Structure 1
């Protein structure tokens, strides 16, 4: 597939392509490069969760917070 044909896809076809690419990357997450700052942030968050488990939010807490902020 050449790049010109990618830009000529319909929006649903583009979304499907993105999903397919994401699924392919997710199959081997260790192969996906990350920046050093991202690794540091992940380590910081992991340490925070280990040292302060009460700081985590449940999925229900997150949904309620987002809905409260966006009025949904």
Structure 2
């Protein structure tokens, strides 16, 4: 990937809100084409292991609500 100093200067001139929006737009453009991002063998192996553990005991994990509460995000 080449370095684009002009682009960096232009981004630096954006407000924080505009930069956040730019990051969101960039992420959305990537997620729309996520099928083009192949998983590494290590990632595939990890996902297979997690799926196997879940299938062996679906109740072993935590609910999203419990995780949020542990992290202090629940009200």
TM-score where L is the length of structure 1: 0.71
Q: How many residues are aligned here?
A: 69
**RMSD, aligned α-carbons:** 2.4
Once the two structures are TM-superposed, the CA of residue 33 in structure 1 deviates from its matched residue by: 4.1
Deviations 1:34-67 (A, max 9, x none): 4443332222212211122111221111111111
List runs of 5+ in structure 2 lacking aligned partners: 1-5
Once the two structures are TM-superposed, the CA of residue 17 in structure 1 deviates from its matched residue by: 0.7
Moved over 6 A (4+): none
TM-score where L is the length of structure 2: 0.68
Structure number with greater Rg is 2
